[in-house]
Chains A and B, each alone.
Chain A
């Protein structure tokens, strides 16, 4: 059923049929000479069909009729989890899977050999790189992220529309990088520190050189397409990755790409960030903290006991937690900017307050959105004076002495090292803000945070001229880097609004305190009143279902707008928001006007915007529905 719907939809995209207008009625847009001829063909070839009427015209054909054609080469940068991963070397249990997809595709291997699959997808806990004897690599080419799994498109719709106006392999490139590892690790991991200088240590092996490849590809496309600058289209975490690339490419080798200070200005026309997670997503915190987000919390309240029981002896959640904790890239999505840019424990930032007012009806809401994690519903609403806030740092120091590994078993989540007392102490602290959640995570997952903090930083810079900011760990944080000196390079933020998005969580202690249990979980019984934004232990604000508006839009709306310290050359920024509209009928599949984080890649208006920029047209100004 689902596949047939998809096929209907596809037909509409391929057909040069104006879906809304009857063929006999005059085409409202651009009556060109070629039109009558086309109409003739149409009459002969196709009869009237239902789905022609109910689907909008594909933007590719619409713009082709208007005479647009491929001009600037396009680089797509996929986000987290959407890119495929394949096996290059594995343990005996993965025999026969050489160059087969472990991630993406039909995921059949999860069902056939789940433990083997998890083993191959996790990374080494110390280095954050491949465990010995295992090589899992990103799938290259457009197939890497056109469909995540059969029928679930990611980039495919955009690619198909771009192809309509003449894009093909030589001017369309999909950046393939291993989204599990930290950004600098996708380039090279071993630097040799000589007496004179730092060198890349070739002998000990390097990873994928994904950044070098991207640089070389952009340069090649620039040259072979008649010295036309590229348009980069990153999605979700890809925005952070590309931010990292912008800094990397201009930094001197060996840490950087050695492109020189004018590289970005010379090669890049526009960066069109789709649903960028510039300032992080709160979901990442709950993910690391207890491997659950809204979806899992809902599932738990629907079928209690299902996820909790040792089903098939698999300890599903614990294993997922263990695997995802080895993925450094998750850390890049933690909320950034501390209390200045986001919000504080005792007062919500005006931005967040107003946004929440639009979405949920209670304007006088007592919720403090700044508290990303609170223990108990009450503590999420109390004023801070009544809250008991311990210093988490003290706990942190105590932790070293509290090793108690009474639990044996193969699953390792770092929670096993923690004593009951310290778990209790965490829960007593009641509320964690954007600033202190980092301490909380350092406490809950010391191994992971130690690894990751060598690669990412989540602060906000006081003085950007400080030489320490030339280190690569600051490159992916927009609040701790300057944009490159490229006054003509445009930065667009395109994202959906109008969907409730997770912003903060109410936690409770897990009831069963035995071994191998994640001791914390979202309190799904915490529901607000009708007008409140609290549902099953999760507070919601405006956003695109995954990323709140503050993270997607703040940098383009404020942080980089005009000449600021983060944008010293004054690269122009633009905001394009797309209000979410759920698909009207079944034929629409995932919708043509969706604003959801991934489904927005099929949003007709957004695709049109991207194509117009790629074809060299100017977009209008900002288009804003939310608070900015």
Chain B
């Protein structure tokens, strides 16, 4: 109807003109009757009107409308934990400190190059990532750090966002801490009793102090909160890499002044009530290895399998993966998550290490974190032919000049080096370190100054006073604070990356020479999917890494925990959201989504309001973490013949562990 109405008056108007025109030039007029312009304008007008109408309706809609719809469909929702506990009469008691993990904290620009004009104090990381699409190369340039120092490149200052806004939402609508904050606010928490310990998660832990004095700020803020809240100790809630960061902080704060914070040996006992670690990668994550090795993890590998050629191409001449790799390799903090404890923890060539077996047992060894070829991953160790890569000549890359400005250390490596790496066939947690040293010497040189991945033989050795050991729970003692509590809270029930099958890339000139072999799939219910072996965990961190320290390493009085700080393991079984309306779910166990898990939030609120671990009900375990072999068994199983650094030889530490670890009788 409407469409017909519009052209009509125009026809009448033009009638006379048309008549005139006809006499002169009859051809074009007949076409004009259904000119597209009219309908187009009309159509655009319609779209605009509808758009404005919808916008108006959206703005006029009461804020609680989505909730009505949800309740109408699914029935009344359960009370959020904050409301429930408020009804129980809980009140804010202990101040809380949040320690965000890697990538969830926002970063903003304070000084930049020309291409970043107008971005002063705008978020480069977090938020909408608008700049990533507008000027990707500029963005990568500003997010990268200096390759030698691991600090800012000259002329660029990117700093963490401060305050609760730093990590409440990662991107609009994607919550990280927001749900927890909202629930804590219900029982009376506010800005003065909540503190987000925002730090630059790209640089190594000690460098956050050197550059930004972040550790000093955290110390000062905790002291202030304790003083202004009537002497009540704080409850610290680190998430993901924040767990390691806070471990580093606890050692730093008690160490004497130039290297540490000079708080004295009872600082933690005086100021901290509980450390409630959420999804902590205490012993590292295998994902970190592939991230450094080939800038890919399961997600990228799956994407590559779905759309082969897309990521490999010089898409828009951007060389996406290479740029990502170059950027992430400048971030020292990623090296804090390389698996720790070597073969003793993660398993050697012929043992599984400490694992929760979720899928069917098969002839596969989880200890082999990186294998070249599926058959190698499953073969017996005696049948694998390996040539040592250490000391192999790297050779020169012929294509060195053609790779433009992208710099990954692979360009310094020739075909010989790449072949040597592939010929070694199998890498365990111990030899992974050697591998990384081989392929990325500069990065690892930086990393070695800040992190360590071994197990300590003798913790009294003065060398362990160096800050590089502070974030490794296997090479430090917990502070002397018998009243402090340590919780390990993490999700279980999601397949989590544990080991990888690799292959050589087809083109080796400018690309990353290795990639995950996505064609390597196991049988139907096997753990091998798309080149990745999966175990139980929270999608990012395997149970081994998240729970082992609290379940075994620190349980009772051990040498890592000399004052016998009580530890609690709280696992949360993953249940995917029932309907779309639930969003990311209220019972999720996934690494980040667990921050919206009602059961976890309830536990945290109870502790913040004064409860102890016993009040919560002690351990809550779904995985078989307590049934796992003793550490000593693990150590004796491990028998790799390779050139293992002496510190990782299980024989040497066996006695020490046996004496101290299990004397509590657990």
- Interface of A toward B, CB cutoff 8 Å: 7, 10-11, 14-15, 41, 45, 88-89, 95-99, 112, 135, 137-138, 140-143, 146, 159-160, 163-164, 168-170, 200, 202, 206, 208-209, 212-213, 216, 219-220, 223-224
Contacts and interface: CB of A to CB of B under 8 A. Distances in A.
A209 B228 contact: yes
B611 interface: no
Given A169-B159, A224-B216, A163 B230 contact: no
Given A11-B118, A99-B181, A169-B159, 14 more contacts: A7-B118, A41-B114, A96-B63, A98-B185, A99-B168, A99-B182, A138-B191, A140-B164, A141-B162, A141-B163, A163-B120, A169-B110, A206-B228, A209-B228
Interface in B196-239: 212-213, 216-217, 220-221, 223-224, 227-230
B192 interface: yes
A75 to B, nearest CB: 15
Interface of B: 59, 63-64, 110-111, 114, 117-118, 120-121, 157, 159-160, 162-165, 168, 181-182, 185-186, 190-192, 212-213, 216-217, 220-221, 223-224, 227-230
A63 to B, nearest CB: 15
Given A98-B182, A209-B228, A135 B190 contact: yes
Contacts of B63: 95-97
Contacts of A41: 114
Nearest to B230: A202
Given A88-B190, A223-B216, A45 B114 contact: yes
Nearest to B219: A220
Nearest to A87: B185
A478 to B, nearest CB: 28
A224 B213 contact: yes
Contacts of B163: 140-141, 143
A159 B217 contact: no
Contacts of B121: 142, 146, 159-160, 163
B182 A10 contact: no
B120 A220 contact: no
Contacts, number: 87
A212 B227 contact: yes
A99 B216 CA distance: 28
7 contacts: A10-B118, A96-B64, A163-B111, A168-B157, A169-B162, A200-B230, A206-B228
A137 B118 contact: no
Given A88-B190, A170-B213, A220-B220, A212 B162 contact: no
A221 to B, nearest CB: 9
Contact of A216 (B162, B224, B229): B224
Contacts of A142: 121
A13 B602 CA distance: 49
B224 A213 contact: yes
B154 to A, nearest CB: 12
B472 to A, nearest CB: 27
A220 B216 contact: yes
Contacts of B181: 99
B376 to A, nearest CB: 50
B115 to A, nearest CB: 9
A135 B191 CA distance: 11
Nearest to A45: B114
Contacts of B220: 216, 219-220
Contacts of A216: 220-221, 223-224
B615 to A, nearest CB: 22
Nearest to A209: B228
Contacts of B230: 200, 202
Contact of B160 (A88, A169, A200): A169
Contact of B191 (A7, A140, A206): A140
Contacts of B111: 163-164
Contacts of A168: 110, 157, 159
A125 B186 CA distance: 24
Best-surrounded residue of A88, A202, A206 (most CB of chain B within 10 A): A88
Contacts of A138: 191
A213 B216 contact: no
Nearest to B221: A216
Contacts of A97: 63
A168 B163 CA distance: 14
A146 to B, nearest CB: 8
A112 B162 CA distance: 30
Contacts of A169: 110, 159-160, 162, 212
A209 B162 contact: no
B192 A11 contact: no
Contacts of B165: 141, 143
A14 B117 contact: yes
Contacts of A10: 118
A160 B120 contact: yes
Given A140-B191, A168-B110, A11 B117 contact: yes
Contact of B228 (A7, A137, A212): A212
Best-surrounded residue of A45, A137, A209 (most CB of chain B within 10 A): A209
Contacts of B117: 11, 14-15
A81 B287 CA distance: 50
A265 to B, nearest CB: 21
A508 B597 CA distance: 63
Contacts of B228: 206, 209, 212-213
A33 B429 CA distance: 52
A570 B224 CA distance: 33
A96 B63 CA distance: 6
A96 B178 CA distance: 13
Contact of B192 (A143, A164, A209): A209
A216 B222 CA distance: 11
B529 to A, nearest CB: 40
A131 to B, nearest CB: 15
Nearest to B211: A170
A202 B489 CA distance: 31
A86 to B, nearest CB: 9
Nearest to A173: B162
Contacts of A220: 216-217, 220
Contacts of A96: 63-64
Nearest to B60: A112
Nearest to A223: B216
A170 B212 contact: yes
A220 B192 CA distance: 17
Contacts of B118: 7, 10-11, 14
B228 to A, nearest CB: 4
A202 B91 CA distance: 13
Contacts of A212: 224, 227-228
A106 to B, nearest CB: 12
A488 B228 CA distance: 31
A293 to B, nearest CB: 32
A516 B322 CA distance: 71
Given A159-B121, A163-B120, A168-B110, A95 B190 contact: no
Nearest to A213: B224
Contact of B64 (A11, A45, A95): A95
Contacts of A7: 118
A209 B226 CA distance: 12
Contacts of B223: 216
B609 to A, nearest CB: 15
Contacts of B191: 88, 137-138, 140, 208
A5 B230 CA distance: 51
Contacts of A209: 192, 228
Contacts of B217: 170, 220, 224
B143 to A, nearest CB: 17
Nearest to B185: A88
Contact of B120 (A14, A45, A99, A200): A14
Nearest to A111: B59
A89 B185 contact: yes
A160 B110 CA distance: 9
A95 B67 CA distance: 11
B192 A213 contact: yes
Nearest to A168: B110
Contacts of A143: 163, 165
